[in-house]
Amino acid sequence: MAGTVITITSGKGGVGKTTTTANIGTALALLGQKVVVFDGDVGLRNLDIVMGLENRVVYDVIDFVEGRCRLRQALVRDKRAAPGELYLLPTAQTRDKSAINPRQMVEVCEELRRDVDYILIDSPAGIEQGFQNALAPADRVFVVTNPEVSSIRDADRVIGLIEARGKGPAQLIINRLSPARVKKQEMLSVQDIVEVLATEVIGIVPEDEAILSSSNRGVPVVLNGKTPAAQAFQDIARRVLGQDVPVVEPQSLSWWQKLLGIS
Amino acid sequence: MGLIDRFFSNKPNAPSTDTGSAAAARQRLQFVLVHDRAEIPPATLNLIKDDIIAVLSRRIRIDREHVSVQLTYTENESRLVVDIPLLTEALSDAPGRARGSSARPATAPRPSSR
């Protein structure tokens, strides 16, 4: 088995990289894949708390790199994502980005690759060493952006850097789209964003209030199924597996559609 | 969701779907922040707890099931709070010592002068 490494990055902070990583990783495991979600944000780790696994972290990837544990010991198993297998590889909270370098990131992923189908790396914001670390082992790169000028500008810069490093073409995840506001012309549409970034879209995730309660509780939305964002993340996971799931811009429901229960 | 519900849940999110998740968030954050600030992960605390139980058990009988080792953070001070219930018999081999059921040394009756 030679697993695929997918790095999830954005340039700008706060656009939903960690939520996206947690949910695509969990969705892939729910589809029967063997998956590691790997926190690339040394010193500001959050994938553990978003997934609700913060109390089970014993060792982290820095412990492995510095020889204090075996890689397997640093993996935290998440048993909620049957029938596949899902593991979290946490990072250190009390160190900084220099605690690991791109070569070591590649080595860690080479070791993981032998045993799993997918490794999803949650990149830190920015374009400095943490981003370079997260990019080094990548086979594919997903850039998360919001329909909002500053995150699109940063996404454009990051997409260029990914190309320059020979890791392109990146694929785009448009997160927190509000179809109702697009309809009212208060928000950039998917078409607007695609025209600016000229990058293939692998998923459109609608704004969904279930996301906040999911991170409050530490339960990724895909684990309880049916909300709009959960369905969008499940669709992305199917596309990752090569299934033909067309990318369509979510439409806002009119009052009579809501009344009739059409979705 | 029925037709009537759907009609009345016109708001983006009915409050009932999210009851109490803020409380969960507060509790989880408190726990994780206290550990982050002290730079002592929960797993290390469990190891410390095992060590304390092992050391004390060599000398005295303690109620292992109810030992609590917790980090607290108040007024810019991290504190390790350890609570160790003793088994009543723990004091029984010291003659003259009253067999109080109280587990805390501070409240254990002093040996009589007889």
Look at the block and give the residue holding tokens 């005295």: B60
In contact, A131 and A164? CB cutoff 8 Å: no
> CB–CB of B6 and A57 under 8 A?
no
Distance from CA of B24 to the nearest CA of A (A): 6
Domain map of chain A by residue range?
4-260
B96 touches chain A (CB under 8 A): no
pLDDT band at B11 (very low <50, low <70, confident <90, very high): very low
In chain B, residues with a C-beta closer than 8 Å to the C-beta of A229 are none
pLDDT at B89: 60
End-to-end CA distance of chain A: 39
> CB–CB of A209 and B12 under 8 A?
yes
Distance from CA of B22 to the nearest CA of A (A): 6
Using the CB atoms, write b or e for B21-32: b if 16+ within 10 Å: beebbeebeebb
- Residue B95 pLDDT exceeds 70: no
> CB–CB of A258 and B7 under 8 A?
yes
Mean pLDDT of chain A: 94
User: Using CA atoms, how far apart are residues A144 and A12, in angstroms rounded to an integer?
Assistant: 9
- Residue B97 pLDDT exceeds 50: no
Using the CB atoms, write b or e for A58-72: b if 16+ within 10 Å: bbbbbbbbeeebebe
pLDDT at A15: 97
pLDDT band at B43 (very low <50, low <70, confident <90, very high): confident
- Which two tokens mark A13? 């902070």
> CB–CB of B41 and A58 under 8 A?
yes
Closest CA relative to residue A178, chosen from A211, A222, A130, A135: A211
Architecture of the domain defined by A4-260: 3-Layer(aba) Sandwich (3.40)
- Residue B39 pLDDT exceeds 60: yes
In contact, B69 and B52? CB cutoff 8 Å: yes
pLDDT at A20: 98
pLDDT digits (tens, 9 = 90+) for A113-170: 999 999 999 999 999 999 999 999 999 999 999 999 999 999 999 999 999 999 989 9
Among B12, B25, B36, select the one facing A93 at the smallest CB separation.
Answer: B36
Distance from CA of A208 to the nearest CA of B (A): 8
Residue % of chain B over a pLDDT of 70: 61
pLDDT digits (tens, 9 = 90+) for A71-123: 999 999 999 999 999 999 999 998 999 999 999 999 999 999 999 999 999 99
